[in-house]
Amino acid sequence: MIPSKENMELANLVGDWLKNEVAPVCGEYDEKNEFPEKLYEQMTELGLNIMCTPEEYGGLDLSAVAQTLIAEQLGRYEVGLGSAVGANASATHLMNQFGSPEQKKIFFDILVNGGWAAFCLTEPNAGSDAGSVTTTAEESEDGYVINGTKCFITNGGIAGVYLVFASMDRSLGVKGISCFLVERDREGISIGKHENKMGIRLSNTTEVVLDHVKVPKDHLIGLQGKGYKMAMATLCESRVNVGAMGTGLAARALDEAIAYAKTRVQFKRPIADLAVIQNMLADIAMQVEASRQLVYHTAELIDAKLPFAKYSSMSKCFGGDTAMKVALDALQVLGGYGYMKEYPMEKLVRDAKILQIYEGTNQIQRVVIAKEILR
């Protein structure tokens, strides 16, 4: 795929901001584990929180291809910020597919006014086994009462609105799970533990605690008991952007390795002249381009409204694996210097790992891919 001029200009606009405003300061934020409030304000000014919000609600309504190009830029410079944008997009995708006009107005009004959304599915005992959620929603006279604790929630502490998955009948397993629109200012919502993460430290990741949170009946999204299916459909669409971030991170690692190899002199010549280094760089370059084309193809399928589930899992899995392998191989090119914090490689390695874990682990993606090809 050759991206359109319009899409490339948009991605380059975001890339320039990342290069000029984020790259110089992200290391310091990472080191201090400090939330970069100013950068999040700038992201909303760029419209990164309303990329897939429909135009009729004040959003940008970008194509899947445009979103993947932006995600690639985010991965290249700062996966933590990319994770915030991705989690917000996941919630937006679900609302686009399953929300009522009234629910969409509530949800999108928060976003277009500078807010963020969070996708509240994961719990301490419900990670890959998302059907094991213990958060409950009990029907009352005027709505529902939600109780439970969600963990590892990206944007959990900064979101203005949550999409919360809760069981209305645990004996039904996944068929008992429903999804609810929950505004941040509802009584009973509190923010629990702020996670101290290995990587993506510029993202906000917290527990979200719901203690007898009351929501009206019209805040049930879609049909009762269909929450799990909605969650899986949403993640299927959003996974391609994880692959795009992995591609961007891997491309950055390649560039860093090339630049170092050209200037590092050993045995009286640049190490880029050594066949072993050339072979490593060639292998990395092939992996990066393969990941990029798989991601672009998946985005084209989404925009064309053609079946894409298999390719979405492939994009996420291959992109995440590529990011991790390439980051490690590129660090090896830098040798001891790559291990030091004064070089960007160690942060790229730390950030890359999450791409194999969230939005469904890469082991789960292989299960999905196998089911698709064995039908």
Is the domain of 26 the same as that of 86?
Answer: yes
Q: How far apart are the first and last CA of the chain?
A: 28
Is the domain of 242 the same as that of 368?
Answer: yes
Is the domain of 288 the same as that of 211?
Answer: no
pLDDT tens track for 128-181: 887 889 999 999 999 999 999 999 999 999 999 999 999 999 999 999 999 999
- Look at the chain and report how many structural domains it folds into: 3
- Give residues with Cβ within 8 angstroms of 275, minimum separation 6: none
Residue pair 140/214 in contact by the 8 Å Cβ criterion = yes
Q: Is the pLDDT of residue 279 over 90?
A: yes
Q: How far apart are CA 157 and CA 125, in angstroms?
A: 21
Q: Which residues pair with 145 in a beta bridge?
A: 138, 214
Q: Is the pLDDT of residue 66 over 80?
A: yes
Q: Is the pLDDT of residue 261 over 80?
A: yes
> What value does the CA radius of gyration of the chain take, rounded to a whole number of Å?
21
pLDDT tens track for 174-208: 999 999 999 999 999 999 999 999 999 999 999 99
Span 255-279, average pLDDT:
97
- 42: CATH: 1.10.540.10
359 catalytically annotated: yes
- 359: CATH: 1.20.140.10
What Å distances lie between residue 18 and 15, 77, 122, 159, 346, CA to CA? 5, 6, 29, 22, 19
Other CB atoms within a 10 A radius of the CB of residue 198 amount to 11
Q: Is the pLDDT of residue 5 over 90?
A: no
Query: Among the three residues 170, 196, 224, which one is the final residue of a domain in this structure?
Result: 224
Is the domain of 244 the same as that of 364?
Answer: yes
Is the domain of 68 the same as that of 142?
Answer: no
How many helices (H) and strands (E) the chain has is answered by: 11, 10
Q: Is the pLDDT of residue 1 over 80?
A: no
Residue pair 22/31 in contact by the 8 Å Cβ criterion = no
Range of the domain at 92: 5-112
Average predicted confidence (pLDDT) for the chain? 97
Other CB atoms within a 10 A radius of the CB of residue 113 amount to 11
Is the domain of 99 the same as that of 176?
Answer: no
Model pLDDT, residue 333: 98
Query: Among the three residues 112, 129, 149, which one is the final residue of a domain in this structure?
Result: 112
Is the domain of 203 the same as that of 296?
Answer: no
Other CB atoms within a 10 A radius of the CB of residue 228 amount to 21
Is the domain of 78 the same as that of 137?
Answer: no
Is the domain of 134 the same as that of 78?
Answer: no
Q: How far apart are CA 218 and CA 214, in angstroms?
A: 12
Q: Could you say which of 72, 123, 237, 359 is catalytic?
A: 359
Is the domain of 355 the same as that of 240?
Answer: yes
Q: When comparing pLDDT for 126 and 345, which is higher?
A: 345
Is the domain of 104 the same as that of 128?
Answer: no
Span 364-375, average pLDDT:
95
Model pLDDT, residue 336: 97
| Residue appearing with tokens 């064995």 | 374
Question: Three-class SS of residue 59?
Answer: coil
Query: Among the three residues 70, 86, 112, which one is the final residue of a domain in this structure?
Result: 112
Is the domain of 305 the same as that of 200?
Answer: no
| Residue appearing with tokens 């019209």 | 218
Q: Which residues pair with 154 in a beta bridge?
A: 205
Q: How far apart are CA 60 and CA 112, in angstroms?
A: 10
- 150: CATH: 2.40.110.10
Span 319-331, average pLDDT:
98
